[in-house]
Structure formats: C-alpha cells, structure tokens
Amino acid sequence: MLSVFAQADIPDIQWLPLIPHLVMAGAAVVLLTVVSLAGNRLPGWFASAWTVAAGLGVLATAIPVWLRVDQEGPSSTIAGSIGVDQFSVFIIVVLACTVILTALVADGFLHRESLDAPAFYVLLMLSAAGGITMASANNLIVLFLGLEILSLAVYVLVAMHLRRAESQEAGIKYFVLGAFASAFLLYGIALVYGATGSLNLIDIEGILRGDELGDNGLLLAGMAMLLVGFGFKVAAVPFHAWTPDVYQGAPSPVVSYMAAGVKAAGFAALLRVFFAGFGPVADDWQPVIFGLAIASLAVGSMLAIVQNDVKRILAYSSISHAGFILVGVQAATDDGVASVLFYLAAYAAMAIGSFAVVTVVSGPGDEGTGLDSLRGLATRRPLLAAGFTVLLLSQAGIPFTAGFWAKFEVITAAVDARSFWLAVIAMLAAVVAAFLYLRIVVAMFLDAPDPDAPRLRIPRGPALAITIVVLFTLAFGIYPEPLLNLANDAFLLITFTAPH
C-alpha cells in the first residue's frame, strides 16, 4: 500500500500564481473561524473591513504574477490544470475589485436589514475564490469545480434574506435552474472527454488541431451542452429566464456581485474553453454564438422597456450586455478577447454602481425597487442622482464614459472579423437600450418627488463604492488607453489563431 503512494508523482507546483487563489479562499476560512470563536466581541465593521483587506491582498499578490508572466511568458501549473497567463490575472483583478466594492455596498445594507453579516462576507469571498479558479482553470474538471464553488455560495447569498419571501423564491429558482445548467455543462465535459480523450484544454487543442474531429457528433454535442451551461451563468438568451426573477428577489448587494462577478467569471471560463480549447474548430461554434448574441441583444433591450421595477430593468439590461459581450466572443480573434475583457471590467463598474444606488434607494426591507421609488431623486439627493445618471449613460454607451469604449471595442472586433450583420444589430440594440436608461433618468430628474418620502440615508460604504465606480467610469471614458492596453496584453495561455 505504501509503495503505491511512494510511486505517485507529485506534480511540480509554481506557488506564486496560486497565491491570489489562496488569499481569497484563506481569508474566507479565517473570517469564518474568527467569527465563530470571537462571536459578538468583534466590532460591527470587522467583517466588511476584513473582506476589503482580503480583496486588496488579492490585488497586491496579482501584480507580481502579471509581471512574471510578462517576462517569462504564459505557462501552466499543477500538472497543467491551472493556466498562468495574463488573461486570468485580468479576471482575478476584476473579481477582487468586485468583492471590495460589494463589501462596501453591503456594509450599510446588512445593518439596515439586520442580517447575519459575517456569513455574507464569507460566502462572498468563497464565491470569488471559485470564480478565480474558473477563470484560470486549464482543465475541464477544475473549471467545473470552480463553477460549483462560485455557484453554491451564490445560491445561499440569493436566499439569505430570511424575512423576505421573494428572496427565498429567487433562491430556489436560481438553485434549481443552476443545478440543471451545471448538469448540462458536466455532461458536455464528459462528451468532450469521450471525443478527445483528454480533460486538459491544451491537449484538447492539440488533438483538435491535428485531427479532423470537426464533424464528430460527440464533440459537437459536448460543445453544445457546454454552451448551455455557460449561457445560463452569463444570462444569455434563451437561458436567461431566471435573471429578472432572481435579480428582483435577491438582496440588492448580492445582485451587484452576481451582475459583475458571476458574469465576469462565466465569460472568462467560456472564453478559455472555446478559444483555448476549441479554437481549431471555431467554425463549428461561431454560428451558435452569433445566434445567442442576436437573441440576447434583442430580448434584453426589448423586454426591459416594459418593466416597471428598477431591478428587473437592470436585469434585462444585463442580458443585453451579455449580448454585446457575445458579439466580442463571436469575433473569435485576439482583438475579440481584449474587447471582451475591457467590456467585463467596464460593465462590472457600471453594474455594481447601479445596484448600489438601488440598495440605498430601496429602503428598509429592500422593498422600494419600483421605478416610482426613484421619482424626484434629483431633488432629494442630487449627487446620488448625478452619479446614477453617469452610470446609466455609461450602460447606454454615451461617449466620454467607459461604456462607450466597451461597446466601440466589441463592435470594432465584430467588424474586423467581417461579422457586419452582428455589428449592425448590436448598434440598433444600443439605440433601443438607450431608451430604457433614459426612462430611469427622466424619472429621477423630471418627475416630482413623493412629498411623504422619508429622508434618504446614504451610508458611508455605498457612498464610497458609488464614488469609486463613477470616477472609474469617467476616467476610462475620457482616457481609456491604460485599461485598453492591459486588456490587449492579457493573452490566453494558447495564443488564439483562427483557422481561416
């Protein structure tokens, strides 16, 4: 028996690229332990401050990884199951910033709703740790584990408002549909494994490059099932049905994490699997992404117009943003990858800021999320209304905001890849979507406020978070080069080369 262990090869492990993973997951475990031992003796701000510190720690440890990959080129570690490349570092940075900002937004919210604060932060960090694993996984089973760590924590977060029936309803809906989608994803992994004989994305790419497996039924079915699973996570039509209900029912800070973090991790995994793994058979999956993108753009922009709840409007707008990001994915070029990364970073800022405003405005019980709760916000809280306006204009893609460059980049990538129709439809969808954002702005500025409305309290955490994202949106709207350059440098482990 002992000899079996003696023979086992311990794979070579580079520790430096794994430190961001370990910091995020370790911070969650330490917080859980400290809170359960020290209990009530800790000050109320401890858990959120700890989470912000953990996020900053991940940012600090991601920098040396980026610099090292810059010098030595991308590689993989733990027997090729974790990819060490700038693509994953970029997503890790986006996720860490999402965690920091969500912790700030949640700070006032959890006190107001008297929810179990430490559990929220522990689950938030565990979920982000899963997202980091997903973004850097170079092995399909590791990717699945990351996805499940991410999702299981979010299921609990969505259902955690125990006094709101809507929160639990949203939790069970998200759980059942999420488990359904995970099973599809996993079946897809099994079929790809059967077709190629490997779970490692580099090996899969090599096999697909060498062989003519392009019309292999197992491989095609596997790729389709993987797309179902990813489509669910990133809320692409026709796998979007859960999005409005879950966004409306879940606690507002959780939604800001879902819109920014879960979408970023989902798209990162999708890009990695389809660009790095299935790159040689891009002709097979590009048309499917094309269809998903058009459906998401159309459904997201059209159905948002008829909603009367701000969270539902933002949910449909997140579906239409998923459509725009898919436009960049469909291009299947290196420029496409860069445009998707830029879009994810810009959208994370806009989404967190928007849902932070909703968190503040919704008031006790997280109830006031109707469009009328925003009426006259400009007279009640002029600065908050101004900040929200900047974020909404950025979502609409108005020049001098980061959202404009995000849309510009994905559409440019689509045009360069000669997907002219997709580019035209994306521009039309942007025009239609602009209307729904203006509807919110009109409610804030032109409608008279409800005279009986109580005075709106803005806690320090959300105020800081909204300030940061508004400054981010304006700064990279006016001068996008630094972020664009980073996104352009963020290559995948395997440099993608289209087969045409």
Partner 1 sequence: MVTASWYLILAAGLFTIGAVGLLVRRNPLIMFMCVELMLNAVNLTFITFGRELGDIGGQVSVFFVLVVAAAEVVVGLAIVVAINRRRPQATADDLSALRG
172 binds partner 1 (CB under 8 A): yes
Site for partner 1 (CB under 8 A): which residue of 66, 87, 120, 155?
A: 155
Q: Is 267 near partner 1 (CB under 8 A)?
A: no
CB of 359 to partner 1, least distance (A): 18
How far apart are alpha carbons 289 and 236 in whole angstroms? 10
* Residue 364 binds partner 1 (CB under 8 A): no
Interaction between residue 162 and partner 1 (CB under 8 A): yes
User: Does 159 contact partner 1 by CB under 8 A?
Assistant: yes
How far apart CA 339 and CA 360 sit, in angstroms, is 32
CB of 11 to partner 1, least distance (A): 14
Q: Which is nearer to partner 1, 245 or 416 (CB)?
A: 245
The residue among 224, 263, 426 whose CA lies nearest residue 349 is 263
Q: Does 248 bind partner 1 (CB under 8 A)?
A: yes
Select from 245-253, 414-422, 455-463, 476-484 the region that touches partner 1 (CB under 8 A). 245-253
Candidates 186, 236, 337, 396: give the one binding partner 1 (CB under 8 A): 186
Residues pairing with 84 in the sheet: 75
Interface with partner 1 (CB under 8 A), residue from 68, 111, 173, 209? 173
Rule CB under 8 A: choose which of 132, 143, 156, 494 binds partner 1: 156
Check residue 138 for interaction with partner 1 (CB under 8 A).
no
CB of 149 to partner 1, least distance (A): 9
Query: Binding of partner 1 at residue 202 (CB under 8 A)?
Result: no
Stretch that binds partner 1, among 64-72, 138-146, 261-269, 477-485 (CB under 8 A): 138-146
* Helix ranges, 446-497 (H): 460-478, 481-489
Q: Pick the binder of partner 1 from 73, 194, 287, 499 (CB under 8 A).
A: 194
Site for partner 1 contains 254 (CB under 8 A): no
- 144 binds partner 1, rule: CB under 8 A: yes
Q: Give Cβ neighbours of residue 284 (< 8 Å, ≥ 6 apart).
A: 214, 220, 223, 278
d(CA 96, CA 295): 31
Is residue 182 involved in binding partner 1 (CB under 8 A)? yes
**Residue 18: DSSP 8-state:** G
Nearest residue to 237 via CA among 310, 289, 179: 289
Half-sphere exposure of 489 (CA within 13 A, CB side): 15
- The least distance separating partner 1 from the CB of residue 249, rounded to whole angstroms, comes to 5
Is 241 a residue that touches partner 1 (CB under 8 A)?
A: no
**Least distance in angstroms from the C-beta of 315 to partner 1:** 10
Question: 367: exposed, middle or buried (C-beta count within 10 Å: 0-12, 13-18, 19+)?
Answer: exposed
Task: Mark residues 308-347: x for contact with partner 1 by CB under 8 A, - for none.
Answer: xx--x-----------------------------------
CA distance 365 to 459: 16
CA dist., res. 275 & res. 282, Å (int): 8
- Measured between alpha carbons, how far is 20 from 88 in angstroms, rounded to an integer? 11
Task: Tell me how many residues contact partner 1 (CB under 8 A).
Answer: 42
Specify the residue, 244 or 353, whose C-beta has the smaller distance to partner 1.
244
Measured CA to CA, the distance from residue 265 to residue 95 in angstroms comes to 8
By CB under 8 A, name the one of 60, 63, 183, 241 that touches partner 1: 183
Which of 16, 38, 165, 478 is the binder for partner 1 (CB under 8 A)? 165
Coil, strand or helix: which one is 284? helix
Among 86, 136, 243, 307, binds partner 1 (CB under 8 A): 307
State the minimum distance, in angstroms, from the CB of residue 26 to partner 1. Answer: 19
192 or 468, CB closer to partner 1?
Answer: 192
- Cβ proximity of 58 and 21 under 8 Å: no
Pick the binder of partner 1 from 61, 127, 138, 198 (CB under 8 A). 198
CA distances from residue 289 to 192, 322, 330, 444 in whole angstroms, order as listed: 18, 11, 6, 37
Q: Which stretch binds partner 1 (CB under 8 A): 107-115, 180-188, 207-215, 286-294?
A: 180-188
Nearest-angstrom CA–CA distance, 83 and 148: 19
Does residue 369 interact with partner 1 by CB under 8 A?
A: no
191 contacts partner 1 (rule: CB under 8 A): yes
- Please classify residue 15 by burial: count the beta carbons closer than 10 Å to its beta carbon, then call 0-12 exposed, 13-18 middle and 19+ buried: exposed
DSSP assignment letter at 212: -
- Work out the burial of residue 417: count CB atoms within 10 Å of its CB; fewer than 13 is exposed, 13-18 middle, 19 or more buried: buried
Binds partner 1 (CB under 8 A): choice among 56, 57, 245, 291: 245
Burial class of residue 481 (count of CB atoms within 10 Å of its CB; 0-12, 13-18, 19+): exposed
**φ, ψ dihedrals at 370, nearest 5°:** -70, 160
Q: Does 166 bind partner 1 (CB under 8 A)?
A: yes
Start-to-end Cα distance in the chain = 53
Contact residues for partner 1, defined by CB under 8 A:
141, 144-145, 148, 152, 155-156, 159, 162, 165-166, 168-173, 175-176, 179-180, 182-184, 186-187, 189-191, 193-194, 197-199, 244-245, 248-249, 307-309, 312
